[in-house]
A = this chain, B = another copy of it.
Amino acid sequence: MSSSSAAQSAKPPMRDALVAAAFRLFLERGYEQTTVDDIVALAGVGRRSFFRYFPSKEDVVFPDHERCLADMTAFLSVSEPGHEPVQRVCDAARLVLRMYAENPTFSVQRYRLTKQVPGLRAYELSVVWRYERALADYLRARFAGRRDGILRADVIAAAVVAAHNNALRSWLRSDGEGDAGTAVDHALGYVQSAFGQDESPRVAAPQAEDVVVVVARRDAPLWRVVQEVESALGRA
């Protein structure tokens, strides 16, 4: 989206300098061994400047998640009733992927760092939780009044996040080689095949616009199956 590109280009140079200095030190000395004082000394700014941009040392490791969460919330808030809900949350999840894919080298470095430091792993879990809540909140609103709407919203949001992260982590483990977008599309396609469109994927009913699904026992008499098909097609 153009909004995120605009936010990207408007990022203050000092903030970028702090992130660059922090990562240089994290990679050289390790995360735990690097203090905020070390970071500001290398970046040539004062401590107050650091804390203007980042509430804590952990936050400098994930400098773009707040912007990405805001982008995702904005994206979902301009959804229209015509948007298929599961498709829409899959598209929202792709915004996160794009943030990682914008800078593969940085993303791979951070992935390795996060695996090594339990505190960063915990931080990442809380960020993932917030993405999941944003998707679930949108789906809850879309499914309001439907049977099991909240349950379905929570389960689908979790499935979308898990599929996205499965593909993202594969890409990060391969050092950012290959096309992350294709892998994520494939993973999200699996979730859509399980949850997309239909109210209840395995139920035989003509809810969808142009598709009829009939389920019959293999040993059912043929006349009974044809009757069901005719009935479902609205021709009996």
Footprint of B on A, CB under 8 Å? 121-122, 125-126, 129, 148, 150-152, 154-155, 157-159, 161-163, 165-167, 186-187, 190-191, 193-195, 198, 200-204, 206, 209-219, 222, 225-226, 229-230, 233, 235
**Chain B residues near A198 (CB-CB < 8 A):** 202
Q: Which residue of chain B has its CB nearest to the CB of A152?
A: B190
Contact of A191 with B155 in the complex, beta carbons under 8 Å: yes
Q: How far is the CB of A200 from chain B (nearest CB, A)?
A: 6
Contact of A214 with B217 in the complex, beta carbons under 8 Å: no
Partner of A155 from B125, B190, B230 at Cβ < 8 Å:
B190
Contact of A233 with B222 in the complex, beta carbons under 8 Å: yes
Contact of A163 with B191 in the complex, beta carbons under 8 Å: no
Given contacts A194-B194, A217-B210, contact A154 B148 (CB under 8 A): no
**Chain B residues near A218 (CB-CB < 8 A):** 206, 209-212, 233
Q: How far is the CB of A221 from chain B (nearest CB, A)?
A: 10
Given contacts A159-B158, A213-B215, contact A229 B233 (CB under 8 A): no
- A176 to B159 CA separation, bound complex (whole angstroms): 27
- Which of A166, A190, A194, A219 is packed against the most chain B CB atoms within 10 Å? A194
- A225 to B222 CA separation, bound complex (whole angstroms): 12
**Chain B residues near A219 (CB-CB < 8 A):** 210
- A109 to B198 CA separation, bound complex (whole angstroms): 39
